[in-house]
Amino acid sequence: MKLKLTLLGLAATATLATAQIFTTNVTGVATAGNTIYEYNPAGMTETFTAADLAGAITNISISLDISGGFNGSLYAYLAGPQGQLAVLLNRPGISGSNPYGSGDAGMNITLSETAAINIHDYAANPSSYTVTGGQVTGVGTTTFLADGRVVDPMSSGGTIGGTTPTAGLSLFNTTTGDGTWTLFIADLAPGGGNATLNSAVLTIMTAPEPQTWGMLAGGLAMLALFRRRSNF
């Protein structure tokens, strides 16, 4: 009985450790008051440093609080520690019929691969967003997919709008999160004035460590063997 209780305790400990590792998040906040200058391809960058993440990435999201400017002029990407690059914004709303893009002034949104609507197309889905104080915000807990369009942001509206998204946040999945992450944002068209990055929050979720699963499986296997022997 003592051995049985010990093995049950081992299994419970392994299960608890797994849950804690699975919900590990890394959060970084950009310095408030960063100006995104109008029609300035040099843009601005913010970096986040992640350390001691266990397991591979299973989900990643980034929240952006931008005020002012002209949304249709914005281009942004997130570069990972291994050199991967997800396109967050690529001139939202720009298309063959709208060469200037969405005219809202800023956004307070979360980009995540669990969303249903691409941020590039938010203006075409009015039920998915509201405008508060000039900023676009999601409705309720609604988030948006990253733009993901790998195309020169200075291309024609038809070219940008017609490009299939291939570089969303899911490209970071199964990779490791430790290292430096870089957020880049620029305003690439005249008109609309400067924008301001008020904050940026990066959240990384990782899978459990393989050895944790091994501990749990091993404990349960030993418990099964003990039970089998007890029946003889």
pLDDT: which is higher, 216 or 10: 216
pLDDT: which is higher, 225 or 16: 225
* Residues 168-199 pLDDT 10s: 999 999 998 889 999 999 999 999 999 999 98
Confidence (pLDDT) at 162: 97
Q: Where does 25-210 sit in CATH, by number?
A: 2.60.120.260
Rounded Cα–Cα distance for residues 77 and 43 (Å): 11
CA distance readout (Å), 165 to 160, 162, 224: 10, 9, 49
Amino acid 179 reads: G
Rounded Cα–Cα distance for residues 199 and 208 (Å): 29
Strand partners, 197: 34, 66
Each domain of the chain, given as residue ranges in start order, spans 25-210
Which residue reads 């956004």 in tokens? 107
Rounded Cα–Cα distance for residues 146 and 112 (Å): 7
> Looking at residues 98-125, what average pLDDT do you find?
95
**Closest alpha carbon to 111 in 138, 134, 130, 93:** 138
Q: Which of 91-100, 108-117, 138-147 has the lowest mean pLDDT?
A: 138-147
As a whole-number percent, the residues of the chain with pLDDT over 90 amount to: 59
The widest CA-to-CA distance across the chain, in whole angstroms, is 84
Rounded Cα–Cα distance for residues 232 and 227 (Å): 9
**Strand residues in the chain grouped as ranges (E):** 34-36, 40-50, 57-68, 74-79, 85-90, 106-112, 129-132, 135-138, 179-187, 195-206
Q: CB-based contacts of 133: which residues, under 8 Å, 6+ apart?
A: 67
* Residues 45-82 pLDDT 10s: 998 888 888 788 989 999 999 999 999 999 999 999 99
